[in-house]
Amino acid sequence: MGKAALMTKWLREVGVDFVPRSLPKDKRLPGSSSEGAETLDEILRELAGCGRCVLSENRSRIVFGTGNPSARLMFVGEAPGAEEDRQGEPFVGAAGKRLNRWIESIGLAREDVYIANIVKCRPPGNNVPKPEEAQLCMPYLVRQIRVIRPKFLCTLGATAFKYMLGVDERITKARGRWREWDGIPLLPTYHPAYILRNPSSEEEVMEDFKDLARRLSLLET
């Protein structure tokens, strides 16, 4: 199976009906028109007490997502870590502080964007989420994206990139190159935790954020 077919298959499995780009915007995602659309609160309520996968067994809290429900820019990370599990909010530990710095570097605040993860419960030992865990949890992320309808998506790290697009490419090659997720431009960049370990790569992240800022400002003109 070719890359495009694999991606389509994966997106279908996580709840995205693949629709060719040429269709009008309002036809792209069934249920995505504002009429009768669900809210983030409704999705959160549905998630309460979730026991769909083994990650629920060790979590303290479901880490749903945070930020502006009408954000133009949405970040997708991998999974909650220890601090996120304690506080119930994504990216509040050391990696989160670095992400905040990047967001502020383009004149935005954390409250201006929306931040969520591929899976909403902390994998024990901070393991990478398994495909079956991602597959069970991602329909909630897909629904969050449908409600928020950001103008741009930015994946943080290899795992979010791989699961969002259903591809297995090296993040070192993929970062900084725009893709598309169901009609929404998506920019993959490095994960802030990776940058904490490899500070010399932060320059590339700064380029990616400048690119995001440029695109966001183009929207305003």
The residues that touch ligand URA, with contacts defined as CB under 6 A, are 77-81, 84, 90-91, 95, 117, 193
d(CA 189, CA 202): 10
Q: Nearest distance from residue 220's CB to ligand URA, in Å?
A: 29
| CA-closest candidate to residue 71, choices 101, 115, 25 | 115
Minimum CB distance to ligand URA smaller for 93 or for 166: 93
Minimum CB distance to ligand URA smaller for 88 or for 139: 88
Give the chain's largest Cα–Cα span: 49
Q: Nearest distance from residue 117's CB to ligand URA, in Å?
A: 5
Count Cβ atoms below 10 Å from residue 77 Cβ, excluding itself.
28
The residue sitting closest to ligand URA, measured at its beta carbon, is 77
Concatenate the DSSP letters of all residues of 28-78 into one string.
Answer: SSTT-SSTT---HHHHHHHHTT--SSGGGGT-SS----EE-TT-SEEEEES
Minimum CB distance to ligand URA smaller for 77 or for 166: 77
Length of the chain: 221
Q: Nearest distance from residue 105's CB to ligand URA, in Å?
A: 19
What's the token pair of residue 128?
């990478």
Q: Nearest distance from residue 147's CB to ligand URA, in Å?
A: 19
21 burial via Cβ count (<10 Å: 0-12, 13-18, 19+)? exposed
Minimum CB distance to ligand URA smaller for 28 or for 194: 194
Q: Nearest distance from residue 5's CB to ligand URA, in Å?
A: 28
Minimum CB distance to ligand URA smaller for 4 or for 196: 196
